Structure 1
């Protein structure tokens, strides 16, 4: 008889981090192949701007800035995944967990970037809000689905 083994909090967080990386891959593909062709939006360097604001890292080449952008993009996705892992550890999964994690992490993201002077949401158009919300909701949803179906705890007998 198969029974679900209770995972440790650390195991849930690590699986969440892995799901967050994979969810970020999904969001990035969505941005590149769906959202950006529809909106005409150029590549965002918001992740690099964030890293440069909080860390003593300031690339001097375009290639260095692109690398910092990618690393930070995936690091932030990893953080979103760890939040899902913590929520899943409490027993909440699927749409319910996404509905808890997404607004908390998204609001924190907007507030922190605004406090750092990187975002000016009061000047955003409806399209700006839609693009930001949809892209990050794709990431959060993909992370949750991947956590629950790919990175779920192993079964024990």
Structure 2
């Protein structure tokens, strides 16, 4: 009985779906992290997502009072879609902290390049160290949570895990007696 067949398109679709769920959960964690940090530092929320969307796609809120709502929608969409990158990383076989570091590097470096390009943030060499650390913290929260959720979703079925565990024990016994 085969538990797992090699199906490249199925694996890609699965990775994308798991990645989207991981991205959504990670965006929730990052949003919570930002809310706590803003309470502590008294920092106002950023309109960077809106600035980038206006510059790249001409997206504008219908009314001035819709700015915050549209900014939040863009933030959640962007974060959720970045989960797909975590899914692609998972297809390479990377897991755990190494996969989270690769994902973090991709997400944060993109922000460091894209936001100044669209006048949504200062270049990193013009930012205060405290602001850089806060930004890195939030992106770290995102990447760690995306990784935890993705790895949990990608752990396989309960049946497959049980059989793999038994197979590992059998291999260890065979190796021991050879």
TM band (smaller chain): 0.7 to 0.9
What is the aligned partner in structure 1 of residue 138 from structure 2? 135
Partner Cα separation in structure 1 for residue 39 and residue 121 of structure 2: 23
Tell me the matched-pair count.
155
Taking only aligned residues, the RMSD between alpha carbons, in angstroms, comes to 2.2
Partner Cα separation in structure 1 for residue 16 and residue 62 of structure 2: 34
What TM-score do you get using the length of structure 1 for normalisation?
0.87
Where in structure 2 are the equivalents of 1:29-68 lying within 5 Å?
A: 29-33=32-36, 35-68=37-70
Preserved CA contact (<8 Å) 1:16 1:81? yes
Preserved CA contact (<8 Å) 2:50 2:60? no
1:124 aligned residue (119, 124, 127)? 127
Preserved CA contact (<8 Å) 2:30 2:141? yes
Change (3 A) 1:75 1:5: farther
Q: Say which SS state the counterpart of residue 8 (structure 1) adopts.
A: helix
Preserved CA contact (<8 Å) 1:5 1:153? no
CA displacement, residues 98-150 of structure 1 (integer Å, 9 cap, x when unaligned):
1112112211221122222322123210111011110111011111111111x
1:38 Cα shift? Answer: 2.0
Partner Cα separation in structure 2 for residue 101 and residue 19 of structure 1: 12
Partner Cα separation in structure 2 for residue 2 and residue 73 of structure 1: 42
Q: Unaligned regions of 5+ residues in structure 2, if any?
A: 161-178
Change (3 A) 1:152 1:38: same
What TM-score do you get using the length of structure 2 for normalisation?
0.78
Q: Unaligned regions of 5+ residues in structure 1, if any?
A: none
What is the aligned partner in structure 2 of residue 80 from structure 1? 82
CA displacement, residues 49-86 of structure 1 (integer Å, 9 cap, x when unaligned):
11111112211423321221111101211232111110
Partner Cα separation in structure 2 for residue 5 and residue 100 of structure 1: 27
Q: Say which SS state the counterpart of residue 39 (structure 2) adopts.
A: helix
Say which one has the larger Rg.
2
